[in-house]
Every structure is written in structure tokens, then in C-alpha cells.
């Protein structure tokens, strides 16, 4: 069984603006940021780690650290080696997010590892190996979950954006939740959940919001009648359109159009004073 071996571990508090390095890393390292924050440049590429985060750093890279400028940064760390690391696992590690939230389970392991430094037990080194192995596998499992959730969020965002595009292209047509969900190959209930997560509203609320916004824009920018605008924006009647506009803006379509035209006429009458050269 693959069992990482701890080389050294410790805890340190860096004062505001503290720095470390540059240095050449020869071991793997877990860095747990408890308070403050850290930016580590790995081969001149910055990696930011906030408070309550866990970072995995790899050997074979130049590292330079900067810690929080506004306050002290308290972090714990463990250097370790991974003997006989399979190439496939090494590649998989490189693809995982290097900074993830610090979980209670990982924090507990780190605390146990630090306590073992002063343990009177003759088996403390063996226990430290077991705990470090647990941390290694725990990081892999937790980082995979973080990566999976990030991928799901990206996929979810794409679904929401596709639904938004479909809605905007079909505003003048009857739009039901079922039709929108079918267009993006999603169940209505799941689409509602995604809209609430990413936009804070339901798909149909978004539909009516966009219809009103387009209607207001047509009132301000065209000479179309209220009835024509209502039809183009998917309202069944001009009364329904006017009521929605009044609820959303506090103004009637007539007031919106009159205010827009008055502003337009005023801007045309305003003399243009050339700048002095």
C-alpha cells in the first residue's frame, strides 16, 4: 500500500507582510492556512490560498511565499515523500485543484501529526506515517469532490446560459416552463433549481423580466405603438404589457415614451460649444 513518509512538520506565525524564499522544493508539502492568507509563486505562477484552506505543493519547482499584509498569518505544514508513486497517480495529482477548503477531518489529522512530535510512544514514527498517508488520501478524495463540483457548476452555468439565449430568441412566442426545459434537455424542476442558484429567480420570472426590459427599450427607441410592442414582446394584450411595465418601473408606457422623447429633443437643442484649442 502506498504510504507517504513525513519528513518534517510544524507550525509558524508570519507577521504582516512576511515572506519566504525563493527556494527549490524537493518534497511534497501540505500547507494549512488557519488565519491570514498566502500567495505562493510556483515557477513565477501565483497561487492564492485564503484562511481555512489547504494547499498541496509539489517537488521540483521554485517557490516564493508572501503572507497577508493586513495581519499575521498562522499556518501549519508537513513535508513528506511518496515512495514508488505510480506515474498515473502523479499525473492525476497534478490535475487536481491545488487549493481546497480545509476540512475538519484534515485539520484533525494535522493536529494529531503535530502532537506526535512530543509523543513518548516508541511507535510514534509509524503512527506519523499512517496519519500522513491518511492526509494524502483524504486530500485526493476531497480535491476530487471540489473538482467535480466545479465541473458541475460550469456545466450548470452553461445550461442556464443556453436557456437564457433560447428565451431571448423566442420572447414574442408563448413560452412555458416545459418548452424552455425541453430546449435545453433538462427537467422543469431541475431547471428551476439551476436558475435559482445562478440567477436568484425562476425561468418564467426571467421571461417576464426580459419582456418588460425589451418593451421599455422599444418604447424609448422606436415609434411602434404600445399594442405593437406588446405583441413583439410576448404579451397577449396591451393592458397586460402596461400593467407589467408599471409594476416594474413605476411608470406607464406613455410616461416612459414621453420622458425619453423629451430628453432626446433637449439633447438635440443643446448647443455644442467647441473646445478652445
Query: Is residue 33 located within the same domain as residue 68?
Result: yes
Ranges of residues in the chain with a pLDDT under 50 are 268-277
Residue 252: predicted pLDDT: 92
Query: Is residue 25 located within the same domain as residue 105?
Result: yes
Q: Do 40 and 84 meet the contact criterion of CB atoms below 8 Å apart?
A: no
Query: Is residue 9 located within the same domain as residue 144?
Result: yes
Comparing CA positions, the residue from 262, 259, 256 lying closest to residue 244 is 256
User: How far is residue 97's CA from residue 220's CA, in Å, rounded to a whole number?
Assistant: 48
Residue 84: predicted pLDDT: 83
Query: Is residue 9 located within the same domain as residue 140?
Result: yes
Residue 266: predicted pLDDT: 52
Report helix, strand or coil for 166: helix
CATH for 215: 1.10.10.60
User: How far is residue 115's CA from residue 147's CA, in Å, rounded to a whole number?
Assistant: 31
User: How far is residue 223's CA from residue 154's CA, in Å, rounded to a whole number?
Assistant: 41
Query: Is residue 144 located within the same domain as residue 28?
Result: yes
Query: Is residue 63 located within the same domain as residue 140?
Result: yes
Report helix, strand or coil for 211: helix
Q: Do 260 and 219 meet the contact criterion of CB atoms below 8 Å apart?
A: yes
Residue 272: predicted pLDDT: 38
Query: Is residue 107 located within the same domain as residue 220?
Result: no
User: How far is residue 230's CA from residue 207's CA, in Å, rounded to a whole number?
Assistant: 14
CATH for 96: 2.60.120.280
Comparing CA positions, the residue from 203, 250, 206, 242 lying closest to residue 226 is 242
User: How far is residue 259's CA from residue 256's CA, in Å, rounded to a whole number?
Assistant: 5
Q: Is residue 126 part of a domain?
A: yes
pTM attached to this predicted model:
0.64
- 32: domain range? 5-150
Comparing CA positions, the residue from 49, 134, 135 lying closest to residue 100 is 49
Residue 265: predicted pLDDT: 53
Instruction: Tell which of 150, 182, 215 closes a domain.
Output: 150
CA dist 218 → 126, 138, 213, 226, 259 (Å) = 75, 57, 9, 9, 13
Residue 64: predicted pLDDT: 96
Angle separating helix axes 188-198 and 124-169, nearest 10 degrees = 100
Residue 264: predicted pLDDT: 60
Domains identified in the chain, total number: 2
Amino acid at each position: 500500500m502506498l504510504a507517504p513518509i513525513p519528513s518534517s512538520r510544524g507550525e509558524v506565525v508570519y507577521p504582516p507582510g512576511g515572506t519566504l524564499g525563493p527556494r527549490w522544493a524537493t518534497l511534497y508539502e501540505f500547507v494549512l492556512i488557519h488565519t491570514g492568507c498566502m500567495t505562493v509563486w510556483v515557477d513565477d505562477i501565483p497561487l492564492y490560498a485564503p484562511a481555512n484552506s489547504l494547499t498541496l505543493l509539489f517537488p521540483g519547482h521554485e517557490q516564493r511565499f508572501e503572507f497577508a499584509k493586513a495581519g499575521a498569518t498562522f499556518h501549519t505544514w508537513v513535508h513528506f515523500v511518496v515512495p514508488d508513486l505510480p506515474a498515473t497517480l502523479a499525473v492525476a495529482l497534478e490535475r487536481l485543484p491545488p487549493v481546497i477548503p480545509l476540512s475538519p477531518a484534515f485539520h484533525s489529522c494535522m493536529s494529531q501529526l503535530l502532537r506526535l512530535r512530543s509523543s513518548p510512544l516508541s511507535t510514534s514514527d509509524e503512527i506519523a506515517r499512517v496519519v500522513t498517508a491518511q492526509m494524502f488520501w483524504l486530500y485526493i478524495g476531497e480535491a476530487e469532490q471540489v473538482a467535480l463540483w466545479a465541473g458541475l457548476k460550469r456545466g450548470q452555468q452553461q445550461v442556464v446560459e443556453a436557456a437564457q439565449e433560447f428565451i431571448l430568441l423566442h420572447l414574442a412566442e408563448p413560452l412555458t416552463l416545459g418548452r424552455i426545459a425541453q430546449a435545453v434537455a433538462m427537467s422543469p424542476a431541475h431547471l428551476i433549481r439551476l436558475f435559482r442558484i445562478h440567477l436568484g429567480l425562476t425561468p418564467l420570472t426571467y421571461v417576464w423580466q426580459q419582456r418588460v426590459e425589451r418593451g421599455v427599450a422599444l418604447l424609448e427607441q422606436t415609434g411602434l405603438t404600445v399594442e405593437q410592442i406588446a405583441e413583439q414582446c410576448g404579451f397577449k394584450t396591451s393592458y397586460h404589457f402596461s400593467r407589467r411595465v408599471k409594476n416594474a418601473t413605476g411608470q406607464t408606457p406613455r410616461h416612459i415614451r414621453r420622458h425619453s422623447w423629451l430628453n432626446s429633443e433637449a439633447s438635440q437643442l443643446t448647443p455644442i460649444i467647441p473646445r478652445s484649442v
